[in-house]
Amino acid sequence: MLVHLEEDAQARQRAEAERDAVLSRLYRAGQDERRRLARDLHDHAGQQLVTLTFGLRKIASRLSCPTALHEVEQLLRHTQDIGQSLRRVTLELRPAALDEFGFVTALRSLVDEWSRVTEIVTEFQIVGEELDFPLETAITLYRLAQEALTNVAKHAGPDVSVSVVLRFSALQVTLTIDDNGSGFAADEAIATSLVSQGKLGLLGMRERMSLVDGTLNIESAPGRGTSIVARAYRSVEERGHA
């Protein structure tokens, strides 16, 4: 019986490992597709909007009829609105700064822009020497920061301030986002408690971290703010030696 139990346990472990490997491959494939779509939107739809805008401006400069000029100016405003929407969608799919300038610069830009738009006082700090780590992990941490900051803006309440700390060590990279807002009743052990409170974004963040072999800890209590700590190993080899 003990032999059978051990064989069953090993079979379950193999099945879980295979499942995790498949999920990780699907996650990477999804990120690759996001990158392709973002590039296509930027290179094709974006350029077409630029051409359309210049064409409408050229037409407007040649019009003498006030009614016609007003209609063309309305079309120009609609075109600009479409361009802004397109940039937002492209950013959601794949932040260009992440590819062009690297994770730290992209994260700093995200935090600065969010703080400017929301007018929430935000501190950004880097601890340790900046080190490389897998692109999938960088994307996941960036998305996590987006989700966490969005939650602060929606739920933290008035007079809130935020601290974002990115910490590098020899083995790990850790992202900590703290706020002194209204908080909520967090139960780390029971995922259903997050569902019951409508914290589906937090569950999504936890699942995304698990796909890059990372962890996510959430600490919060009513009236005591929220602390989100995401940790990920810098490489598969270092994870194996930890």
Which residues, including other chains, have CB under 8 Å from residue 118's CB and lie 6 or more apart? 153
Structure tokens, 213:
């072999």
- The rounded distance, in Å, linking the Cα atoms of 181 and 161 is 7
Structure tokens, 11:
């079979």
Mean pLDDT (whole number) for 103-131:
90
Of 39, 36, 57, residue with least CA distance to 47: 39
Structure tokens, 108:
């700093």
Confidence of residue 91 (pLDDT cuts 50, 70, 90): low
Q: How far is it between the farthest Cα atoms of the chain?
A: 93
- The rounded distance, in Å, linking the Cα atoms of 56 and 109 is 32
- Average pLDDT of the chain is 78
Given a cut of 80, is residue 59 above it in pLDDT? yes
180 phi and psi angles, rounded to 5 deg: -105, 35
Total Cβ atoms within 10 A of residue 67? 8
Given a cut of 50, is residue 166 above it in pLDDT? yes
- The rounded distance, in Å, linking the Cα atoms of 194 and 200 is 7
Question: What is the pLDDT at residue 235?
Answer: 66
- The rounded distance, in Å, linking the Cα atoms of 242 and 233 is 9
Q: Are 186 and 219 in contact, with CB atoms under 8 Å apart?
A: yes
- The CA radius of gyration of the chain, in Å to the nearest whole number, is 23
Structure tokens, 63:
């019009």
- The rounded distance, in Å, linking the Cα atoms of 219 and 229 is 9
Total Cβ atoms within 10 A of residue 139? 23
Given a cut of 60, is residue 195 above it in pLDDT? no
pTM: 0.62
